Amino acid sequence: MTKNSQSGRDVSSDRIFRRTATVDPHAGLGAIARITRMSFRYPVRAGLALAATVAAVLMQLSIPVLLGRAVDQTQAVAAAGAEPETLYQIAVLLFLASVGRGFFTLIQNYTAESVGHSMARDIRNAVYGKIQSLPFSFHDRTHSGDLITVGMLDLEGVRMFFSTALVRTVLLGLLIGLGATLLLSTNLSLGLLALSFVPFAGWRSTVMRLALRRTWLTLQERLGVLSQVMEENLAGIRVVRAFASSEYEMAKFEVASKSALELSHQRIETRVKNTSAMTLAFFAAMGLVLYFGGRQVASGEITLGTLATFLTFMTILQMPVRQLGMMVNGYARASTCGARLFALIDHETEIDNAPDAQDLKITDGTLKLENVSFAYAGNADRKAVSGISFEAHRGETVGIVGPPGSGKTTLMHLIPRFYDPTQGSISIDGQDIRDATLASVRQAVAVVQQDNFLFTTSIENNIAYADPFTETRQIRGVAESAQLHDYILGLPGKYGTIVGERGVSLSGGQRQRLSIARTLMMKPAVLIFDDSTAAIDAGTENRIRRALKEYAKDRVTLIVAHRLASLMHADRILFLERGRIVEQGSHEELLKLGGRYSDLHALQMRPNAEMLAEKVDVP
C-alpha cells in the first residue's frame, strides 16, 4: 500500500452480506417482516406495549372532546350567569385523561424499549455465533472492520425498529384513523381541511424513506472504511510509531471521516427538508381550519367548542407529524440494517457438518491424502496445491519444505478442514474428514500456526485455552516441553502474568513457544507445526524438538519449515513447488538425489561454512 492510497481499503473486496443486501430488491421488505416477527417472540411485552399505545391514544383523543365541551359549557354558564359546577367535573376528567395518557405512554416506552433490547441480544448472539462458524474463505474476503460495523451499527438500527417505527406507526395510525372518524362525523368540510396535510405528508415520507434507505447503506460502507482504518492503526500502532507515520495515518483517517461526515450531512439535510415540508403543510391545514371554522362559528353553523375540538386535535397531532420523519427513518434503517444483518446470519457456511456426520474414531491415527487439489475462490485457474498424495502413520514425522508460495500452508489448512479440497480426499483412519463432525476433526488435528495470536489474559489461561478445566500440573508440563517454563517462573506473576493485547508483551519466540504449549494441551492425533519455530533460536528449537520426541510417538507430526535444520530429523521430507510434490524422501536420500532439496541445503549451509572459514582465517 502506498501513501497515495488514502482510502486504506480495497473497495472492490467481496463482502457477502453487503452484496446480498444490495442486489435483492425485496431484502429490505423481507428484513422488516422478519424483524417484526422477532419482536413478537416476546408476546407479553410486545402486546403490553401495543395495548398501552391504544390506551394512550384513546386518552389523548378524549382531551380535544373534553376541551370542546368545556368551552361550550363555559359559554353557557357565562350567558346564564350560573355557578360553574359542571366545569369542575370536566376539569377532573381532563386531569385524569392527561394522567392516564402519561401513564400509558410510560408503559409503552418502557416495554417497547425492553422488546428492542431483548431482540438485540438475540441477534447479537446469532451474529457472534455465526462468525464463529464461518470458514477461513469468508474471512479471506471480508474485513473484520465491516463485521464490527454490522454487529454494532446495523444492530442498533434493528433494535430501534419496534419502538421508533412499529409502535409509532400504530400510534400515528390510531390518532389519524380515530381522529379522522371523529372530525369527519362532526363536520365533514372542516374534517377534510384538518386532514388535508396527510396525503402530502405521506408522499414526502415515501420520498424520504427511499432516499434515507439508499444513503444509509452507503453510510454504513463508509463507516466500515472508518472502522477498518482505526482497527488497522491500533493493531499496527508500533509500526506507525517506528516509521513516524502518524501524520499520514491522521490524513488517511481524516479522508475516511470526512467522507462519512459529508454523507451524514446529506442525510440530515434530506430529513430536515422533508420534515419541514410536512410541518409546513400541517400548519397550513391548521390555518385553513381556523379561518373557515371561525366563519362557521360566526354564522352559527358550529359552536366555538367544536372549533376548539378541531384545533386541539390538530395540536395534539402536531408532534406525531413531526416524528413522522423519525418513524420513516426507523423503517429505512431497519430495512437496510436488517438486510445486512440477516444476510450475514443466513450466509451458507461452506465448511459445515454433513447431515449424517459422525465423530472421528481414532484407532491407528493414520493420515492419508489422495490426489488432493485446491484453488482459492476467485482464483480457480491457479491451483494452490495440485495432486498431493501421501500417507503418514502414528509416530511418523513428515517435513514439508519448498519456496514461498509453493502451497505448504494451504496444504496444512486443508487437513483440519479450514478449507475443503476442490478435488481428492483427506482421511484419518480411513474416515473422510468431510464425513466427520467439525468438532472431532479439529480435536484430532491441531495446528501451531504462523500467526501466534494470544488473548489478553494470563499465561496460564492462554495455555489452557483448549481445555480451560485442565490441571495446573498439565499446564506446566506442556510449558516445559515448549521450553517456556523457566521463563515464566522468572516473571513477577509467574503463570498468572497477564499477556498484553495480541501478546505484545512477549517476544516473537516467546509467543511461538506459548502457542506450541497451547496446542500440546489438545493431545491430537495429527500435530502440525506450520513454520511455528521461525522466531525461535536454533538452540531452543533443538531443545523443543528433543522434548517433543516422546510426545510425537503417539501421533502423526507434520512440520512446515523454511529452515532445513528444523526438519532434517523427519522420517520423510516432501519438497513442494508450485503446489506439487516434486521430491520426497529422508534427509539423506534427498541429499543423494542432488535435486532441489540438495540445492536448498547447500544454499543454507554455505553461510555457516563461510562464517566458519572467516573464524579460522581460511584463505
Tell me the domain boundaries of the chain: 18-345, 367-615
Could you tell me which residues are beta bridge partners of residue 392?
367
Give the pLDDT confidence score for residue 84 in this predicted structure.
Answer: 63
Cα–Cα dist 464/521, whole Å: 7
In one-letter notation, the amino acid at residue 370 is E
Give the pLDDT confidence score for residue 211 in this predicted structure.
Answer: 78
* 525 SS3 class: coil
What fold characterizes domain 367-615?
A: Rossmann fold (3.40.50)
Give the pLDDT confidence score for residue 536 in this predicted structure.
Answer: 67
Cα–Cα dist 514/492, whole Å: 17
Closest among 331, 351, 338, 301 to 138, alpha carbons compared = 351
DSSP 8-state secondary structure symbol assigned to residue 163: I
What residue ranges in 96-220 does DSSP mark as E strands? none
Q: What is the pLDDT of residues 308-350, one digit of tens each?
A: 888 888 888 777 766 676 777 788 778 878 888 888 888 877 7
The count of other CB atoms within 10 Å of the CB of residue 373 is 18
CA distances from 247 to 243, 250, 579 (A): 11, 5, 42
In one-letter notation, the amino acid at residue 341 is L
Cα–Cα dist 402/405, whole Å: 8
Give the pLDDT confidence score for residue 3 in this predicted structure.
Answer: 40
What fold characterizes domain 18-345?
A: ABC transporter transmembrane region fold (1.20.1560)
Low-confidence ranges of the chain (pLDDT < 70): 1-27, 77-86, 140, 143-145, 149, 213, 235, 238, 321-323, 325, 500-505, 533-537, 606-619
Torsion from C-alpha of 512, 513, 519, 524, nearest 10 degrees = 110
Q: Are 217 and 22 in contact, with CB atoms under 8 Å apart?
A: yes
The edge-to-edge listing of strands for the beta sheet with 423-428 is 385-392, 367-374, 423-428, 431-432
Could you tell me which residues are beta bridge partners of residue 528?
447, 558
Q: Are 477 and 548 in contact, with CB atoms under 8 Å apart?
A: no
Give the pLDDT confidence score for residue 25 in this predicted structure.
Answer: 46
> Per this entry, what is the length of the chain?
619
Q: What is the pLDDT of residues 586-601, one digit of tens each?
A: 888 888 888 888 888 8
CA distances from 32 to 165, 339, 411, 571 (A): 10, 8, 43, 61
Give the pLDDT confidence score for residue 453 in this predicted structure.
Answer: 76
- Burial profile 226-251: b = 16 or more Cβ within 10 angstroms, e = fewer: bbbbbebbeeeeeebeeeebeeebee
Q: Are 556 and 365 in contact, with CB atoms under 8 Å apart?
A: yes
With 0.85 as the threshold, say if the pTM is over it.
no
Say if 18-345 and 367-615 have the same CATH topology: no
Cell of 158: 434493528
